[in-house]
Amino acid sequence: MPQTRRAQTFDTSKATQWTIERAQALFELPLMDLIWQAQGVLREHFEPGAIQRSALFSIKTGGCSEDCKYCSQSAHYATPVEREPLKPLNEVLAAALEARVRGATRFCMGAAWRNPKDQDLDAVVAMVKGVKTLGLETCLTLGMLKPGQAERLKDAGLDFYNHNLDTEASYYPNIVSTHTHADRLNTLDQVRQAGIKICSGGIVGMGETRRHRAGLLVQFANMPKPPESVPINHLVAIPGSPLADQAKLDPFEFVRTIAVARILLPRSVVRLSAGRQEMSEELQALCFMAGANSLFYGDNLLTTPNADSCRDDQLFERLGLSAA
């Protein structure tokens, strides 16, 4: 079987294969029944209320060749983001140290690249090594990888590679035309084969249907080894991007997506990701009830503000959540 197809194939050794219909039936449950079921699954596999915290840092910003319609960093759209070249190592390490002091346990470095060049990887390898010496887990999101690059990152000590499938394959061409969903799977396959843990999830609220949302989660669930980390992002509508005026999703549909992710991916850490700044604390609490057990922590995402970390600390206190 060709390597690039492996991540798409069903794992016949599993007792249960998820189908889109079964996942859709979960979405259609009364909300309280769905949350109850998801919270039960969470409690079977994780300590309830223990929330993992990752900090995000943009190491190279803007000017990306790709045309992802949601993104502030695509060179195809006039967004408020200013281009910035690759950050020097000392700035990256200073940001990582600050994140550790604040309480993050993983430092995720993001670059607005279609794919990194081999020369870029020299600098990135130094960043991974430096961040590891601070005692943090490392995560990179650099775009598509070519053969040999994942191995270099593994040798540097990289723990996680983030590469989101973002939306169901059939909807992907409505969102991106400069690369394909199959390209994304190909990179995930290389990351898996190199022995790096996978962080891969999606964006909700880009005009996709419930069936698309169910389909994306089914694809992750049926992978031979599902991603260890699954970020569920709510679209952050970026002025100047094609999705700037996208109609808002019912917030309960976002909660349902988290709950279905938890049920289909019982052993994965499900992250309540982008979009928290616009969510009420009550809505975030529902997401934790629905099985989210990770978040991005720190005042910024990549190019947009995150929920304020002092308010997050208070929220942890008020809800009785703890650091994982």
Q: Which residues are near ligand DTB by CB under 6 A?
A: 56, 72, 108, 110, 141, 162, 164, 201, 231, 233, 236, 273-274, 301-304
The verdict on 236 binding ligand SAM (CB under 6 A) reads yes
The nearer residue to ligand SAM, 53 or 163, going by C-beta atoms, is 163
Residue 235 CB, nearest approach to ligand DTB (Å): 9
Nearest to 301 by CA among 57, 127, 23, 62: 57
Q: How many residues does the chain have?
A: 324
The verdict on 242 binding ligand SAM (CB under 6 A) reads no
40 within 8 A of 46, measured Cβ to Cβ: no
Distance CA 99, CA 94 (A): 9
The verdict on 274 binding ligand SAM (CB under 6 A) reads yes
Residues 146-205 that bind ligand SAM (CB under 6 A): 163-164, 166, 203
Residue 171 CB, nearest approach to ligand SF4 (Å): 15
The nearer residue to ligand SAM, 23 or 238, going by C-beta atoms, is 238
90 within 8 A of 256, measured Cβ to Cβ: no
Of the residues 53, 106, 139, 192, only one is catalytic, namely 139
The nearer residue to ligand DTB, 39 or 300, going by C-beta atoms, is 300
Nearest to 159 by CA among 232, 105, 95, 122: 105
Q: Which two tokens stand for residue 37?
A: 């079921």
Residue where the block lists tokens 């002092």: 310
With CB cut-offs between 5 and 8 Å by kind, which of ligand DTB, ligand SAM, ligand SF4, none does residue 74 bind? ligand SF4
Of the residues 53, 106, 199, 276, only one is catalytic, namely 199
The enclosing H or E element of 92 equals helix 89-102
The nearer residue to ligand SF4, 173 or 195, going by C-beta atoms, is 173
Query: Which whole-number Å values give the CA distances from 321 to 23, 40, 69, 296, in the listed order?
Result: 28, 17, 35, 15
With CB cut-offs between 5 and 8 Å by kind, which of ligand SF4, ligand DTB, ligand SAM, none does residue 235 bind? ligand SAM
Distance CA 48, CA 246 (A): 34
The verdict on 112 binding ligand SAM (CB under 6 A) reads yes
Region at 11 (left for phi over 0; alpha for psi -120 to 50; beta for the rest) = beta
The verdict on 110 binding ligand SAM (CB under 6 A) reads yes
Q: Which two tokens stand for residue 248?
A: 């808002």
Residue 310 bears catalytic tag: no
Binding residues (CB under 6 A) for ligand SF4: these are 64, 66, 68, 71, 73-74, 112, 114, 143
Nearest to 269 by CA among 176, 197, 170: 197
Point out the residues that are catalytic.
64, 68, 71, 108, 139, 199, 271
